[in-house]
Amino acid sequence: MGKILDGKGLSDKILNKLADSILENNYSPTLAVILVGNNPASEVYVSVKEKACNKIGIKSVVYKFDENTEESVILNQIRELNENKDIDGILVQLPLPKHIDKFKVIETISPQKDVDGFTLYNFGRVALGLKPHCYPCTPKGILTLLDEYKIQIEGKNVVVVGRSDIVGKPLANIFLKRNATVTICHSKTKNLAEITNRADILVAAIGCPKFITAEMVKDGAILIDVGISRVDGKLSGDIDFDEVFDKVAYITPVPKGIGPMTIASLMENTLELYKSHNH
């Protein structure tokens, strides 16, 4: 299984290190999580984040709001958390109900507490190749995993399929900063397979199970599967893992790949914010 980029293994290692550091230094970081409505996937994600916090000694406080909560109530809650010196990071679980303006909500988070790196300030700094208060968790987790395996990025052709604000766009900018030649693809891209076939490193962040097939992948490529979909009760990534496996140099599995790395990055970000605040 030498081809597997073991996100779960590295994530466990990072979490253990963070736990040791929190214990040894008597740190007391706190993460505030805002959850609006009853989206079952969001509830699962929030509970996974809470568990990780509990495991390593980060205090997590979940603020749950009813689906019909007015936008102003959420904004006021965030303003209060911005002012609260006991809170180090603020995370708003997406998606939000339709009547709430996602951008307004995110922009209300203080950039110094923006643990997901979604505010314009932090997003903009990443776009400019500058260090933000926090990098967005999934892109950060991907780079941490590639670096752990000493995979060279400079000069490589990187193709990112998916241009979301939370994965594809910031990830492409981070690869660019690391001197890769980056192509971003999306649902209107023509001749997608031709482009993905040129990728030394191919990232799939689409949300379509097994979308990337063997004929879309170059021999010896490195494949990063961000997608998480549930098919017949089982988790599936965006890459047809079994079909591409023999062709690739490295690949991340789903589950146990980028998902755990995202959580590890969130924990790292929370601790970094804690250290940057005056406690």
Active site residues: 49, 93, 116
The verdict on 162 binding ligand NDP (CB under 6 A) reads: yes
CA distance 54 to 114: 20
CA distance 268 to 113: 13
Q: Are 184 and 160 in contact (CB under 8 A)?
A: yes
Site for ligand NDP in 12-41 (CB under 6 A): none
Which residues lie below 8 Å from residue 241, measured CB to CB, with a gap of 6+? Answer: 210, 225, 251, 253, 254
Cβ count within 10 A of residue 245: 15
- Write the interaction track for ligand NDP spanning residues 234-263; mark x where CB under 6 A is met and - where it is not: ------------------------xx--x-
Beta bridge partners of 90: 32, 114
Stretch that binds ligand NDP, among 15-23, 70-78, 112-120, 161-169 (CB under 6 A): 161-169
Q: Which residue is nearest to ligand NDP (CB)?
A: 164
- C-alpha angle with apex 195: 189 to 200, nearest 5 degrees? 135
CA distance 265 to 12: 11
Phi-psi map region of 12: left, alpha, beta (phi>0 left; psi -120 to 50 alpha): alpha
Number of residues this chain uses to bind ligand NDP (CB under 6 A)? 25
The verdict on 10 binding ligand NDP (CB under 6 A) reads: no
Q: Cβ of residue 79: shortest distance to ligand NDP, in angstroms?
A: 26
DSSP for residue 114: B
Which residue, 85 or 188, is less far from ligand NDP as judged by CB? Answer: 188
Backbone angles phi, psi at 225, to 5 degrees: -105, 110
Site for ligand NDP in 128-147 (CB under 6 A): 138
Question: Looking at 19, 207, 245, 249, which residue binds ligand NDP (CB under 6 A)?
Answer: 207
- Write the interaction track for ligand NDP spanning residues 167-206; mark x where CB under 6 A is met and - where it is not: xx----------------xxxxx--x------------xx
Q: Cβ of residue 73: shortest distance to ligand NDP, in angstroms?
A: 25
Tokens 């505010």 label which residue?
A: 119
Q: Cβ of residue 11: shortest distance to ligand NDP, in angstroms?
A: 11
Interface residue list for ligand NDP (CB under 6 A)? 138, 161-164, 166-168, 185-189, 192, 205-208, 226-229, 258-259, 262
